[in-house]
Amino acid sequence: MAYSAVRTTGIYCRPGCGARPLAENVRTFELAAAAEAAGYRACLRCRPYRIAGTVADEAPELVCRAVQLIISGVLDESGEAALGARVGLSARHLRRIFHEHLGVTPDQFARSRRAHFARRLLDDSELSIAEVAFASGFGSLRQFNRAMREIFRASPRELRERRRHGDRLAADGGLVLRLPYNPPYDWDAMVAFLGAHAIPGVESVEDGVYRRTISLDGDPGVLEIGPGDADHLLLKAHLPYWEGIIHVAERAARLVGLHSEPVLARAFLADDPVVGPLMAARPGVRVPGAWGPFEVAVQAVVRDHLPELAADDVLRKLVEVHGLPVPGLGHGLTHAFPSAETLVSANPELVGPLTQEVAAGNVWLDGGEDAEELIRSLAVVPGVSRKAAHQVAMRLGARDAWPLEGESEHLRPWRSLAAAYLLA
């Protein structure tokens, strides 16, 4: 998706906006953050902050890995130097490749995402101004006010006064948020995959709605994700606090495959004699992601070793014995999934070696690892097959994982999307 910015007005718009500027006055940007970094402000008519601002899939995988770490909140706790070190680059080199491929620095990218999320909360929720600031990941009200004025040319209070009546999302308990996406998107395919891979007690799918328990700093919460409208899903969050909910929303979006828009991948796979017809029939299939990387790794190993019913039984018992109880929820939800640190002393059957390696820091599951290195590090762990390692890599965002049997070289470098279609 390209955003159009008009030199004469200083405004940038989303595709399809009714504005008709002269072509010679228009610049295009792949990211809203890049338009903002160049000094443009969001159009009040088309409100580009309300659509999905995904990174184009032609960006190098290293950049995409760094983006996923930013979305996970790395820059909330440390600076660009730490982010660069995690992906094997100096801060200077990281800034250079971000500017080359995205048009912004990592800090500018992170600030824009926080501001856009805050802008949607001001429109959609009844949270106070202060609650919006901290829910969006800003460290102080002063920082929040400054960022909103710089990006939207108005104070948070003025922005809230501009919201439209139809924006407000009412909820009977919890907080409802829109998870925007760029069509096509196949929710039925995604929720079917999540239902087939649900961990008993932790996840459930009923009537097209996905539900799961989560743990935030040891406190339990519940998420519900279901269909919304033509360009968004609805997330309902029941949480112990709202601070940092931007990261909850981003992780939820990544779980249901909204973290990237596979334009190049679709074009590449369209002519494949097997995947192409599947894609033509269901163009909106996305690669499923993960809420908890360790959780996905454990279930990938268990399901690789055991048939479906036996695997469900093992996972259920693991959760019941070691998970954080979350009583009174219904929908079959009873516990939050245990951490590697919780399981390491128990050394559970099948996944004991994996748990030990993750807890010791020998296997990184934060999405920042190169896909081949992640697969290699997993596949050398006793009990973890290459198939299971590829399954984990696919759900952690690798573009070119192949958790299936059969020849796949002709599908490189987009095997993850091909696998998603074959699994749908």
Residue 264 included in any domain:
no
Residues 291-297, mean pLDDT to the nearest whole number: 96
Residue 223 included in any domain:
no
Q: Which residues of 31-48 are buried (b: 16+ CB within 10 A; e: fewer)?
A: bbbbbbbeebbbbeebbb
pLDDT of 328-347, one tens digit each? 889 999 999 999 999 999 98
Which two structure tokens, joined as six digits, stand for 205?
């799918």
Mean pLDDT (the chain) is: 93
Could you give the number of structural domains in the chain? Answer: 2
How would residue 53 be classed by pLDDT, with cut points 50, 70 and 90? confident
Residue 9 included in any domain:
no
Residue 233 included in any domain:
no
Question: How far does CA 216 lie from the centroid of its chain?
Answer: 17
Task: Say how far apart CA 75 and CA 246 lie, in whole Å.
Answer: 13
**Cβ neighbours of residue 236 under 8 Å, at least 6 residues apart?**
171, 174, 175, 176, 177, 223, 224, 225, 226
Domain that holds residue 372: 293-327+339-423
How would residue 109 be classed by pLDDT, with cut points 50, 70 and 90? very high
Angle between helices 61-71 and 106-124 (to 10 degrees): 50
Residue 220 included in any domain:
no
How do strand 41-42 and strand 11-13 relate by DSSP bridges?
parallel
Task: Say how far apart CA 154 and CA 160 lie, in whole Å.
Answer: 10
33-42, 51-60, 67-76: segment of lowest average pLDDT: 51-60
The CA-atom distances, in angstroms, between 192 and each of 189, 287, 417 are 5, 12, 16
Task: Say how far apart CA 287 and CA 416 lie, in whole Å.
Answer: 7
Query: What pLDDT score does 61 carry?
Result: 87
Q: In this model, does residue 172 exceed pLDDT 80?
A: no
**Cβ neighbours of residue 291 under 8 Å, at least 6 residues apart?**
212, 214, 223, 251, 252, 255
**Cβ neighbours of residue 293 under 8 Å, at least 6 residues apart?**
365, 366, 367, 392, 396
Q: Cβ–Cβ contacts within 10 Å for residue 119, how many?
A: 23
Cβ atoms of residues 252 and 223 within 8 Å: yes
Q: Domain containing 314 — which CATH number?
A: 1.10.340
Query: What pLDDT score does 78 carry?
Result: 85
How would residue 417 be classed by pLDDT, with cut points 50, 70 and 90? very high
Q: In this model, does residue 421 exceed pLDDT 90?
A: yes
Q: In this model, does residue 355 exceed pLDDT 90?
A: yes
Residues 165-181, mean pLDDT to the nearest whole number: 88
Residues 290-295, mean pLDDT to the nearest whole number: 95
Residues 279-300, mean pLDDT to the nearest whole number: 96
Nearest one of 134, 67, 140, 78 to 102, comparing CA atoms: 67
Query: What pLDDT score does 272 carry?
Result: 97
Q: Domain containing 63 — which CATH number?
A: 1.10.10.60
pLDDT of 121-166, one tens digit each? 999 999 999 999 999 999 999 999 999 999 999 999 999 999 998 8
Query: What pLDDT score does 76 carry?
Result: 83
How would residue 252 be classed by pLDDT, with cut points 50, 70 and 90? very high
Query: What pLDDT score does 192 carry?
Result: 97
Q: What percent of the chain is predicted at pLDDT more than 70?
A: 100
Residue 3 included in any domain:
no
Query: What pLDDT score does 380 carry?
Result: 97
pLDDT of 363-414, one tens digit each? 999 888 889 999 999 999 999 999 999 999 999 999 999 999 999 999 999 9
Residue 360 included in any domain:
yes
Query: Domain boundary at 168, 189, 223, which?
Result: 168
Q: Cβ–Cβ contacts within 10 Å for residue 360, how many?
A: 10
Long-range residue pairs from 40-44, CB within 8 A, at least 24 positions apart, any chain: 40/5, 40/6, 40/10, 40/11, 40/12, 41/10, 41/11, 41/12, 41/151, 41/152, 41/153, 42/11, 42/12, 42/151, 42/152, 43/11, 43/12, 43/13, 43/14, 43/17, 43/19, 44/162
pLDDT of 209-244, one tens digit each? 999 999 998 899 999 999 999 999 999 999 999 999
pLDDT of 5-24, one tens digit each? 999 999 999 888 877 888 88
Residues 82-106, mean pLDDT to the nearest whole number: 93
Cβ atoms of residues 235 and 252 within 8 Å: yes
| 217 vs 194 pLDDT, higher one | 194
Residue 272 included in any domain:
no
